[in-house]
């Protein structure tokens, strides 16, 4: 049994002996930056202050679902757009959607690939709209030397999706939001679990034990999208670990790992992610499979915990009306690219995934 490779970065034990970085990455420390347990909580807080009842927000049809739930719970009406094949919003499509109640454009930096937010800032200004930058998957990403999040009125970052933290998200709001009080969790056990995941990634014995003992919790979109306590704050464990683990160099390592997988599987990548921008901070490596569930299952059996990427839309979306989003949901699997991968992990990812894809193609040809 090979060591388990997880989709999200685990937390190495060395953070407690390494010297912390002298400066934390953007937006931490910026005026208007506040920390929450989850990005959806920060988004809700900002929208709750900025929107009036029944204001409309232009939202990507390709979405996780939790951000849509935050919008809906804040009183917004979502007007969905399908975007282009590169997932860049289409101006003509957006223009058709704008109405007298339209208040904001929600722009997502998918998989850590930075969108041209400066362009959409100008577009929003011309139409009197707020710009919401969803950088939940794009912390540390840059475009033309500027950190993602410099252009939005409301920007959210998910910290634990980049580093192995128990929780943690950042909201950068250039609009006033009300203060809220919440009890902070300690989460020492969660911090220990993140370290245990790292140890498992280095040990065949521990991986074998985890495979035997762990029982996967059935997926629930209702649980996955739920807003939860919007007043939540990061756990004390996250606040303790964050200054020690947050390093901008992680983005470069993620690009290196993404590039290695791109070299092996470039023809299997959705068009939007075939060219790696110099400032990207890849969240996962998106690969297309016509039998997504089978590939995920076989990767897991091989000790690779790939990500079932956004299979279920939020119930507010009339999914049949958005063919691009529907196709991506049905086919995209996220392979790990995080900074804790070793060269042998990358080699195993390439070999195992390649063998599984070849087997799947051979089976499809036989059936055909």
Whole-number pLDDT of residue 364: 52
Handedness of CA 17, 234, 61, 120 (dihedral sign): negative
In a domain, 56, yes or no: no
In a domain, 282, yes or no: yes
Using CA atoms, how far apart are residues 331 and 353, in angstroms rounded to an integer? 15
DSSP 311-353: -S--TTS-GGG-HHHHHHHHHEEEE---TT--HHHHHHHHHHH
Q: Domain containing 324: what range? A: 249-367
Contact 338, 8 (CB under 8 A): yes
Using CA atoms, how far apart are residues 283 and 93, in angstroms rounded to an integer? 28
As a whole-number percent, the residues of the chain with pLDDT over 70 amount to 95
In a domain, 355, yes or no: yes
Confidence band, pLDDT 50/70/90 cuts, at residue 215: low
In a domain, 33, yes or no: no
Domain count for the chain, please give it: 1
Instruction: Please check the confidence at residue 335 and state whether its pLDDT lies above 50.
Output: yes
In a domain, 213, yes or no: no
Instruction: Please check the confidence at residue 359 and state whether its pLDDT lies above 90.
Output: no
Whole-number pLDDT of residue 210: 67
Provide the CATH number for the domain around residue 310: 3.90.1150.10
Please measure the distance between the N-terminal and C-terminal CA atoms of the chain and give it in whole angstroms.
34
In a domain, 125, yes or no: no
Whole-number pLDDT of residue 97: 98
In a domain, 150, yes or no: no
Whole-number pLDDT of residue 360: 73
Instruction: Please check the confidence at residue 154 and state whether its pLDDT lies above 90.
Output: yes
């Amino acid at each position: 049994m090979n060591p388990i490779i997880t989709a999200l970065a685990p937390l190495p034990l060395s953070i407690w002996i390494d010297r912390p970085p002298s400066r934390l990455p953007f937006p931490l420390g910026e005026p208007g930056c506040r920390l929450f347990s989850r990005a959806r909580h920060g988004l809700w807080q900002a929208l709750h202050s900025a929107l009036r009842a029944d204001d409309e927000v232009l939202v990507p049809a390709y979405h996780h679902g939790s951000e849509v739930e935050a919008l809906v719970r804040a009183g917004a009406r979502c007007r969905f757009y399908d975007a282009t094949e590169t997932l860049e919003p289409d101006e003509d499509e957006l223009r058709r959607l704008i109405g007298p109640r339209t208040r904001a454009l929600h722009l997502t930096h998918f998989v850590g690939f930075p969108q041209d937010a400066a362009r959409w800032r100008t577009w929003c200004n011309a139409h009197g709209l707020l710009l919401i930058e969803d950088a939940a998957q794009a912390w540390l990403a840059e475009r033309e030397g500027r950190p993602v999040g410099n252009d939005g009125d409301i920007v959210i970052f998910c910290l634990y999706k980049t580093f192995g933290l128990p929780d943690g998200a950042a909201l950068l709001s250039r609009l006033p939001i009300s203060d809220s009080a919440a009890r902070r969790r300690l989460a020492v056990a969660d911090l220990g679990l993140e370290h245990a995941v790292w140890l498992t990634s280095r040990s065949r014995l521990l991986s074998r034990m985890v495979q035997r003992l762990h029982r996967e919790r059935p997926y629930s979109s209702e649980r996955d999208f739920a807003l939860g306590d919007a007043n939540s704050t990061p756990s004390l464990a996250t606040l303790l670990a964050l200054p020690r683990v947050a390093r901008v160099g992680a983005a470069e390592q993620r690009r290196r790992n993404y590039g290695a997988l791109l070299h092996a599987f470039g023809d299997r990548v959705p068009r939007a992610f075939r060219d790696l921008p110099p400032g990207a901070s890849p969240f996962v490596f998106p690969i297309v499979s016509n039998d997504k569930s089978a590939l995920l299952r076989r990767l897991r059996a091989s000790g690779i915990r790939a990500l079932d990427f956004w299979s279920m839309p939020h119930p507010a979306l009339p999914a049949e009306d958005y063919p691009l989003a529907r196709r991506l949901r049905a086919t995209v699997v996220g392979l790990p690219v995080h900074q804790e991968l070793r060269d042998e992990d990358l080699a195993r990812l390439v070999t195992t995934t390649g063998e599984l894809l070849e087997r799947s193609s051979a089976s499809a040809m036989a059936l055909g």
